[in-house]
Amino acid sequence: MEYGRSSQFQRKKFVNLNPTPSMAYNGKNIMSLIRDYMKPNPNRRPRSKIPMMKGNVQLDPVDRETTVTWFGHSASMVQIEGKTLLLDPMFGDAPSPFPAIGGKRYSGHLPIEIHDLPVIDAVLFSHDHYDHLDYGTVKQIKDKVKQFYVPLGVGSHLIRWGVHPDLIHELDWWEETELNGLRLVCTPARHFSGRSITDSNATLWCSWVIQGQESKIFFSGDSGYDTHFKTIGHQYGPFDLTLMECGQYDERWHAIHMMPEQTVQAHQDVKGGTMIPIHWGAFTLALHDWTDSIERVTSYGQEMGVSIATPQMGEPVIVGSSKIPNQAWWKL
């Protein structure tokens, strides 16, 4: 697709529905950010080993049982109606080409070895930031992936890394496609893109709707809170389960990452059933305590009557089940 045909592509850059600064740049905020980064905070990372269900991942999709398995941060596996999808599979050790930024993965390893993953029917990426699109991961999984679905422009990264162009499907917001009986919809998010100082917003970012015959899932990608959630809920909701961004937030960049209470509201806006909070539990990319996001989102979710699943990494969540994992494992 010619990017110029996209209403989101303006003056050689992709834009959000509404004006969206990546950060409130002013002297006061810059000084406060520097000051806050210099303050020691041992709670930005776990002090002990993170529990996970290593080796318990369901590798063979059950035809009529939809399961979602979270691997930490936003990386997740959806097994739906006999098909296996990976969402933002960032399996690397660090969310940056410079490990000093963001540090290394808390757990040090994954609940499953990459070579043990089943054949992947499709990989869905939400945008090209390093904590979502990882070169090393793509190189390791590409030969067992049948199709890649990405927002506009992201395919160029995959092609450079050896993925055949015929396997890549680039979509604009609101574009739909079909995958062996599944309906995939590229939906809006409020964020930005770029992997260097020279390619800011050169590719699009998105959320995803995954709809089967019996279940429907929403994956938020990275997003600040905005009206697009209600629009998505109106057009495609209700959803049986949502994977909603929760973590790496700050009031100074609230336009591109939701606060935990907004995560709950966004889940309600899209008419979600059960929610799995994602974008936390793996890396430190903000200044808050590493458990602050999950504590706030579960507390507010309980107040608002929202069903929130809190699986350990590697613990499958059965969509539509009356029993969902809700143990506060981060306190163990």
The ranges assigned to domains in the chain are 63-318
> What is the distance between the alpha carbons of residues 102 and 285, in angstroms, rounded to a whole number?
5
103-153: pLDDT as tens digits: 899 998 999 999 899 999 999 999 999 999 999 999 999 999 999 999 999
Question: In the prediction, which pLDDT does 253 show?
Answer: 93
Question: In the prediction, which pLDDT does 302 show?
Answer: 97
Q: Which stretch of DSSP H or E encloses residue 217?
A: strand 216-219
55-102: pLDDT as tens digits: 667 666 666 789 999 999 999 999 999 999 999 999 999 998 877 766
Domain 63-318 fold:
Metallo-beta-lactamase; Chain A (3.60.15)
Question: In the prediction, which pLDDT does 99 show?
Answer: 72
Instruction: Tell me the torsion sign for CA atoms 9, 10, 12, 17.
Output: negative
Q: What is the mean pLDDT, run by run of 10 residues, along the chain of 332 residues? A: 84 94 69 83 92 77 82 97 96 87 85 92 98 97 97 98 98 97 98 94 98 97 98 98 97 95 98 98 95 98 98 95 95 85
Question: In the prediction, which pLDDT does 31 show?
Answer: 81
Instruction: Tell me the torsion sign for CA atoms 136, 139, 145, 146.
Output: positive
SS (H, E, C) 87-143: ECCCCCCCCCCCCCCCCCCCCCCCCCCHHHCCCECEEECCCCCCCCCCHHHHHHHHH
